[in-house]
Amino acid sequence: MPAVPTAPEAEQAPLGPSTSDIETPSKVGLAHPLGAGVVTALVGFTSSFAVVLSGLTAVGATSAQAASGLLALCVIPAVGMMLLSYRYRMPITLAWSTPGAALLASTGAVAGGWAAAVGAFAITGVLIVITGLWQRLGGLVAAIPVEIAQAMLAGVLLPLCLAPVKAVQTSPAVVVPVIVVWLVLQRVAKRWAVIAAFATAAIGAGISIAVQHKHLDLAAMTPSLELTLPHWNWQAIIGVAIPLYVVTMASQNIPGTAVMSSFGYRVPWRASMTVTGIGTMLSAPAGGHAINLAAISAALSAAPAAHPDPKRRWIATFTAGATYLIVALGSAAVVTLIATAPSGTLETVAGLALLATLAAALTGAMKSEQHREAAAVTFLIAASGVGFVGIGAAFWALLAGLVVRQVLAYRKD
């Protein structure tokens, strides 16, 4: 796991790679970065919005509250990435926490209900801000063994990735074509596989709705915010906020800085954590769970394909933010369509979207032979979904993995 940047390094971050890094001197218009930005937003939204809806619904959100959360998670990161990219002239892409949403989906009902979950989201934002201001907290997160963090994430993802298999039994007419399209696109155009799967699911859902003469609630398709007054209790803070913070930092923010570094950019750590943390706090009452640096989708705007001149790639991220603002207008319509679709449609799209993440998490968890037993224990407890005293399985999985790792390390010494 990459080390967390120190505050001095973060604040002295250059505006971008030097002109010597430019791959070609030929003049390139705005078409490249504008196109890359649109693709970044579309891929980011369609590849994981189903996971967000599954997570918010699992912890108690109604359809209206889940739609509100999705709207907030489009608008606030959009504004944040536009501000950061313009200020630092870097393609600093923000996103919602997909692993965090998967964590919520596996956590289920929270003690204290939806209001307590919203309170936990706000606490997560506070912790992210503190991480940017206090180096030691970031160091503690970075010190969590990678195999334990990845095993916890893999355990959280497993039930979600099994959903398409179960959905074949309940809604084969809709689910089977979605899986077939996803598989074919994995072979010929991997980047578009999840988007194509979602499009197929939407078509299948539309046909099913028409055949069964169901009626869509047109009023519910208008984007709106459903604000909830946060409530705090210790079960939600320990069982939701802390695991959500750890997963978001370990699986998104820290890898996000590594992705940017691979393209020659040094992310302004303090500014990024402040913006994403405050953004998380602002989105929480509306139902947003966590905002962070993008990891995978960051490469779409930061790579040379966005623009041969590294100093011009920030335009792609700025465009991605503007595109998210447009996409946000359709968030409620997407939720309404999914809510009316046959059982298993949402879960299938979410499960397919997370398969690559599950594979990467399992690889990271089991890579070290020395700590494989500890990773296996972490994985099994997280996958079980069994909590104790009102605290979800993810927290106990992390704790058990660290204890087993320490005990076995002591034994071998």
Rounded mean pLDDT, 393-409: 83
pLDDT at 7 over 50: no
Q: List the single range of 10-14, 249-253, 303-307 with lowest mean pLDDT.
A: 10-14
pLDDT at 11 over 80: no
Rounded mean pLDDT, 316-330: 93
pLDDT at 136 over 50: yes
Rounded mean pLDDT, 197-201: 84
Helix (H, G, I), strand (E, B) or coil at 368: coil
In a domain, 103, yes or no: yes
- The structure tokens listed for 115 are 């209001």
* Residue-level length of the chain: 413
pLDDT at 17 over 60: no
CB contact set of 123 (below 8 Å; sequence gap of 6+): 232, 237, 241, 245
Highest mean pLDDT of the ranges 25-39, 243-257, 344-358: 243-257
pLDDT at 406 over 80: yes
In a domain, 17, yes or no: no
The pLDDT of residue 71 is 95
- The structure tokens listed for 116 are 């307590």
The pLDDT of residue 21 is 42
- Phi/psi for 388 (5° steps) reads -135, 145
The pLDDT of residue 142 is 67
CA distance 241 to 97: 13
| Percent share of the chain, pLDDT over 90 | 31
- The 10s digit of each residue's pLDDT in 82-109 is 999 999 999 999 999 988 998 898 888 8
Residue in 308, 346, 370, 293 with CA at minimum distance from that of residue 138: 293
Helix (H, G, I), strand (E, B) or coil at 279: helix
In a domain, 6, yes or no: no
The pLDDT of residue 8 is 35
| Percent share of the chain, pLDDT over 70 | 87
Residue in 234, 174, 241 with CA at minimum distance from that of residue 210: 174
In a domain, 231, yes or no: yes
pLDDT at 30 over 80: no
In which domain, by residue range, is 341 found?
31-412
Residue 167: what residue type?
A: A
The pLDDT of residue 197 is 85
In a domain, 244, yes or no: yes
Number of domains in the chain: 1
In a domain, 9, yes or no: no
In a domain, 10, yes or no: no
Give the global pTM.
0.76
In a domain, 81, yes or no: yes
Split at pLDDT 50, 70, 90, the class of 220 is low
pLDDT at 63 over 70: yes
The pLDDT of residue 411 is 57
